[in-house]
Amino acid sequence: MSCHRPESAAAATHAVPGLDHNPVALMQPRAPAATPQEMKNGARVKSNNVAPQGVYLPNYNVLTPHMRSPEYVQMSTAAAITLGLMKGRMYRCECTRCLNLLLTYPEGCRANCAYCGLARHREAERDYADRNFIRVDWPAVPLEQTIDIVARDGAASPFHRMCISMITHPRSDADTVTVLQKWTDRIDPSTIPVSILSNPTTMTREDVERLHGLGADIFTVALDAATPEIFDRTRGKGVQSPHSWAKYWEILMDARDIFGREKFGAHIIVGMGETEHDVLALVQRLVDLGGHSHMFCFFPERGSLMDHLPATPRDQWRRVQLGRYLIDYRGARVEQMSFDGAGRVTGFGIPQGELDAVIDAGVAFRTSGCPGKFREDVSACDRPYGDSPPSNIASFPFQPNRRDVAKIRRQLRIVERRH
């Protein structure tokens, strides 16, 4: 029996009532369906061969143009608004500080990660450039036009960082090099530093060295899963996807050697079935290696193989956000923290006054990622509403105010448990 679920079905976006964490038994992806031959590998886009005309906004009802990197890249709606390429306003945000440039091809990403809107199985229903990715559309834009705008703005650019986001595709390594070269030919990387969000599956150590030599500042690996079992279930053999935990760690360790301390990191998605202890132990391992963790709250992306599952309960997410911040920036260690039988945090191992001060400062609950120009613990990569709707914010893309912090305290519930 197929577990295939049509895209028109409503996605589950709320936590299961009564659950304060997403347990491993619940977080089972559905199986990918078979793709009709005529929809495989971007065949529809390639056979129609419609020439692109500048910026392309995702539209399920038109023939998607034939766009490829390095001539074209995709970017978040927030980045397109910030560049003036799209009209729109973002709730409580003026702009985004990170320009994420995602490589794009009609064949799309050849991996099949269960939580991702760009995954290969979606070619059965939607051309690559029309797929949603982390909650929002990603328009496709000519690279030269993007660079022209940023170069014209010079030091007045709102961007604190640019990030080239690779996907799993045979051209991805070479095109990442080309995009980086084209960018640094026109824009000084000391003015707007460049991060690489890598795809280890197709990479070698020499690829990592080349990107460092060309001026990339930070190299990150989207580990995404916190344990090898969840990795295999969500982005390995469990969903007919090519990634392996061992290869991701191999390239992460290469990045540590080549980019050095504070210049490498890993993405972790919280709430895919791992325990809070699993995540914080991984955060500690990364800090001990000299790197950082960049965290995302699991959101059941529409059309993905996990869109029937609940978003991460906010109390689980807040506890992990807080623990991660204390380990990354306040010298706390996971061994000092206490956990219950389900691996949930019951104590952070620091005096209550210090904990209160960190909670009230609010920074721990902002998006995490590569740093910008404000301060080390504030990410340039603010990803407005990339892991939650504005009505129930998971990662704050701005400084939380007093009302936000009061809500965070209610969500944390760690305070209530202590009484």
For ligand SF4, the binding residues (CB under 6 A) are 109, 111, 113, 116, 118-119, 167-168, 235
Longest dimension (CA), the chain: 66
**CA separation, residue 13 to residues 91, 267, 314, 332 (Å):** 19, 22, 12, 33
For ligand SF4, which is the closer residue by CB, 111 or 279?
A: 111
For ligand SF4, which is the closer residue by CB, 108 or 193?
A: 108
For ligand SF4, which is the closer residue by CB, 240 or 392?
A: 240
CB of 72 to ligand SF4, least distance (A): 16
Q: Are 164 and 101 in contact (CB under 8 A)?
A: yes
- Does a cis peptide bond (omega within 30 degrees of 0) precede residue 70? yes
CB of 106 to ligand SF4, least distance (A): 15
CB of 38 to ligand SF4, least distance (A): 22
Q: In terms of Cα–Cα distance, which of 232, 216, 213 is closest to 224?
A: 232
> How many separate helices (H) and strands (E) can be counted in the chain?
12, 10
Q: In terms of Cα–Cα distance, which of 303, 406, 317, 280 is closest to 19?
A: 317
CB of 403 to ligand SF4, least distance (A): 34
- Tell me which amino acid residue 203 is: M
Q: Are 158 and 82 in contact (CB under 8 A)?
A: yes
For ligand SF4, which is the closer residue by CB, 109 or 270?
A: 109
For ligand SF4, which is the closer residue by CB, 283 or 306?
A: 306
CB of 376 to ligand SF4, least distance (A): 27
Residues 6+ apart with CB under 8 A from 161: 97, 98, 99, 192, 193, 194, 195, 217, 370, 371, 372, 380, 381
CB of 199 to ligand SF4, least distance (A): 6
For ligand SF4, which is the closer residue by CB, 42 or 323?
A: 42
Q: Which residues face 267 on adjacent strands?
A: 294
Q: What is the DSSP letter of 312?
A: P
CB of 241 to ligand SF4, least distance (A): 7
Q: Are 326 and 345 in contact (CB under 8 A)?
A: no
3-state secondary structure of 233: helix
CA gap 217, 162 in Å, rounded: 10
For ligand SF4, which is the closer residue by CB, 116 or 281?
A: 116
For ligand SF4, which is the closer residue by CB, 109 or 326?
A: 109
CB of 400 to ligand SF4, least distance (A): 28
